[in-house]
Chains A and B, each alone.
Chain A
Amino acid sequence: MPEDNVIKTRRLALISSRGTLDWAYPPFILASAAAAMGWEVGIFFTFYGLPLLKKDLTASISPAGNPAMPMKMPFGTTGFQNIDWKIPNFITNNLPGFDSVATSLMKKTFEKKGVASVGELRETCIDLDVRLIACQMTMDVFGFTKDEFIDGCEFAGAAAFLEYAADSDVNLMV
């Protein structure tokens, strides 16, 4: 704590460009933690990260694209839950519905361990006045409309975000 008891307000600028369930947690966790410490926080949602600002949160996970992802079961004894199931690639990549099973298992495992859901973390960010900035260019490219998005998010481009990031203390792309 500074001697003079004056605390500088820090600023965190995040870029969220990956919208799978696993990559949905980090920006909202970092943002809510920083905001809880009194920091100003803004997150720029671009490319595949943009749908994380939609009213309907549909983020899912694909083990096929994440070979290092541990496969855990959210039920049974602790020993059973700690097993890392080595599921062969030909199943993770080809079995119809495997991604939705993996998504459901990941959500349940996280919830059971005491991690807030992505929706709850997003709500927390909104409560803590985190600026949620939607990339206008991505909106146009993917044909999204503003009414699909949650209230309170802003729409801006690279220059506006960079100006915000230039005055920040911490910049991360997560």
Chain B
Amino acid sequence: MAEFKIDQTLDCTGLLCPMPIVKTSKTIKGMQVGEILQMTSTDAGSMPDIKAWARQTGHELLSAEQEDAEYKFVVKKTR
């Protein structure tokens, strides 16, 4: 995984749809534009869901990776 300067982390492991995107959205709202969030989940549905969420909200998905049963997303707040 490329290195990013992570400003905030969010643990969504163990949660199923829709909570990973609900929590991601809530966390991003409390951050400053330009800051970077790393979210971790175990919900296989969060891979397509976070991509859709990023397209719909315009926040930049810098990285989306799977490591075993864990998914790691890096999102930059753009607006």
- Chain A positions within 8 Å of B, measured between CB atoms, are 1, 5, 7, 10, 29-30, 32-33, 36-39, 113-116, 121, 124, 127-128
Are B56 and A124 touching (Cβ within 8 A)? no
Are B24 and A36 touching (Cβ within 8 A)? yes
> Considering only CB atoms and an 8 Å cut-off, how many residues of chain B contact the other chain?
20
Contacts of B15 in A (CB 8 A): 114, 116
- Chain B positions within 8 Å of A, measured between CB atoms, are 14-19, 21-22, 24-26, 43, 49, 52-58
A-B contact count (CB 8 A): 49
Chain A interface SS verdict (over half)? loop
Given A36-B24, A124-B22: A29 touches B56 (CB 8 Å cut-off): no
Given A1-B55, A5-B58, A114-B43: A37 touches B16 (CB 8 Å cut-off): no
Bound complex: CA A38 to CA B24 (Å): 12
Chain A's closest residue to B56 (CB) is A37
